Structure 1
Amino acid sequence: MLRTTVDGTRLRILTLLRQAEPAGLTAQTVAARLALPGPAALTHLRLLTALGLLRTDRDRYRCDEIRIAEVAHLFEKGWWCDQGR
């Protein structure tokens, strides 16, 4: 999910959006602030939204802090280490 060669970009997007709360940011603003091509920024934003880490209304993206906390808790518990054992 976030452990790929592009995970740094997704983490930067999450950080940027957390700083922009509560207003959120448009995809164009995210792209400009992170010096990304517009389509690349939109792809990352859509993936993070599909994962439930972002909410969107109209054209603004915001972090879903509850979902982010749930995912962080799963990682803290080490749930991925128990898979396949």
Structure 2
Amino acid sequence: MTGSALERALKALASARRLQILEWLKDPVAHFPPQEHGDPVEHGACNMYITDKLGVSQPAASRHMKVLLDAGLVIATPRSGYVYYRRDEPAIQQLKADLADV
């Protein structure tokens, strides 16, 4: 991971709400209601459910998700007019390894 990518990832993790989102996305079946258009394991959690669970406005939730996406910590999958987010486990493991090297 380059220095700028590591910096983006650390900035993304510097938010309690974004850390909470990543925690929820570890087990989307346990943390979000059943979804109509996307499988929670394969596609992740619907942005609408993430917004509701965070208790913030849709623009605020979208901003949190964009930061996580830009940092490479989540993967976005558009389906039926919604965006589903899941953790990018290989990227998270790489971040852990890079941090251990610092």
TM-score by length of 1: 0.79
* CA RMSD after TM alignment: 1.3
Matched, 1:75 2:99: yes
Size of the alignment, in residue pairs? 75
Specify the alignment match of 2:48 in structure 1.
Answer: 28
Task: Give, in whole Å, the separation in 1 of the partners of 2:44 and 2:55.
Answer: 18
Matched, 1:48 2:87: no
Unmatched 5+ stretches in structure 1: 80-85
Specify the alignment match of 1:13 in structure 2.
Answer: 21
**Same amino acid, percent of matched pairs:** 27
Runs of 4+ in 1 over 2 A off after TM superposition: none
Unmatched 5+ stretches in structure 2: 1-10, 29-39
Task: Give, in whole Å, the separation in 1 of the partners of 2:100 and 2:60.
Answer: 29
Give the superposition deviation at 1:31.
1.0
TM-score by length of 2: 0.67
Structure number with higher relative contact order (C-alpha < 8 Å, ≥ 6 residues apart): 2
